[in-house]
Chain A
Amino acid sequence: MPSLTYKAGAEGLERELTVEIHEQDAPPWGADAKLRLVGGEHTRPDGPAKATGAARYTYDVARPRLAYAASLLCPYGHARLKDIDEAAARAVPGVLDVRVNRGEYRHAGQAVAVVCAENEGALGDGLRALKATYEVLPLAVTVEDALKPGAAEVEPGKGNRALEDRRSRQGDPAAFTKAFDSSEIQVEAEFRTPIQTHSAFEPHGSLSDPGSGGEALVFASTQGTSTFQSLGRQLGLDGPVRVIADHVGGGFGAKFGPLSGDQAAAELARKLQRPVKYMCTRREEHLVGGMRPDSIQRLKLGGTKDGQITAFGGVTDGTAGNGPSGAACANTIVYRLGAQDMEQATVRTFTARGAAFRAPGHPQGSFALEGMLDLYAAKAGLDPLEVRRKNDRHPLRALQWQIGADKIGWATLRKTKAGAGKGPVKRGVGCAAARWGNPGGGKWNVEVAVARDGSVTVRNAAQDIGTGTKSVLQIVVAEELGCDLARVNATIADTRFPPGPASGGSTTAPSLAPAAREAGLRAREQLEGLLAVEWSTAPSKIHLEKGLFHGPGGKKASFEEACGLIGEQGLSAVGQRRENWKSADGLGETAGCQFAQVAVDVETGVVRVERVVAVHDCGRVINALSARNQVNGGVIQGISYALFEERRLDRAQGDMVNPTLDTYRIAGMADCPAIDVVLTSVVSGFNNVGLMGLGEPATVPTAAAVAGAVFHATGAQVRELPMTPARVLAALARRPS
Chain B
Amino acid sequence: MDLPNRSGVTRRGLLKGAGLAAASSALLRAGDALAKEAADGKARVQGPGPEKLTLQVNGQARELLAEPRETLLETLRIPLDLTGAKPVCDRGACGACTVWLDGEPVYACTLLTLECEGRQITTVEGLGTPASMHPVQDAFVKDDGMQCGFCTPGMVMSCAWAVKTHGKGLTEEQARAATAGNLCRCGTYPHVLKAALRAAKGA
Contacts and interface: CB of A to CB of B under 8 A. Distances in A.
Interface stretch (A53-61, A152-160, A516-524, A557-565): A53-61
A93 B10 contact: yes
Interface in B1-35: 6, 8-10, 12-13
A101 interface: no
Contacts of B176: 669-670
Contact of A202 (B10, B134, B150): B150
B89 A661 contact: yes
B8 to A, nearest CB: 5
Contact of B128 (A52, A626, A636): A52
B142 to A, nearest CB: 6
Given A625-B144, A668-B183, A672-B190, A59 B87 contact: yes
B74 A47 contact: no
Identify whether the interface residues of B are mostly helix, strand, loop, or mixed. Answer: loop
A43 interface: yes
A120 B74 contact: yes
A437 B151 CA distance: 30
A51 B141 contact: yes
Contacts of A248: 148
Contact of A51 (B91, B146, B148): B146
B190 to A, nearest CB: 5
Contact of B185 (A48, A59, A200, A247): A200
B55 interface: no
Interface in A26-64: 43-44, 46-57, 59-60, 62
Most central of B69, B137, B146, B179 by chain A CB within 10 Å: B146
Contacts of B153: 51-53
Of the listed residues B9, B138, B144, B156, the one surrounded by the most CB atoms of chain A closer than 10 A to its CB is B144
B10 A661 contact: no
Contacts of A597: none
Interface string A194-209: 0000011110000000
Contact of A43 (B83, B130, B142, B193): B142
Contacts, number: 192
Interface stretch (B37-45, B119-127, B163-171): B119-127
Given A202-B148, A466-B147, A660-B89, A125 B183 contact: no
Contacts of B89: 282, 660-662
| Size range of the chain A interface in the assembly | 35 or more
Nearest to B140: A51
Of B10, B85, B91, B190, chain A has the most CB atoms within 10 Å of the CB of B190
Given A53-B82, A282-B89, 12 more contacts: A49-B130, A54-B130, A60-B77, A62-B78, A200-B185, A250-B147, A466-B186, A629-B147, A633-B186, A660-B89, A670-B180, A675-B190
Interface of A: 43-44, 46-57, 59-60, 62, 92-94, 118-122, 124-125, 128, 199-202, 247-252, 281-282, 465-468, 625-626, 629-630, 632-637, 660-662, 666-670, 672, 675
Interface of B: 6, 8-10, 12-13, 67, 69-70, 74, 77-78, 81-94, 96, 123-125, 127-130, 133-134, 137-138, 140-153, 156, 176, 179-180, 182-193
| 7 nearest A-B pairs in the assembled complex, by CB-CB distance | A53-B84, A466-B148, A636-B187, A249-B150, A633-B187, A50-B149, A60-B83
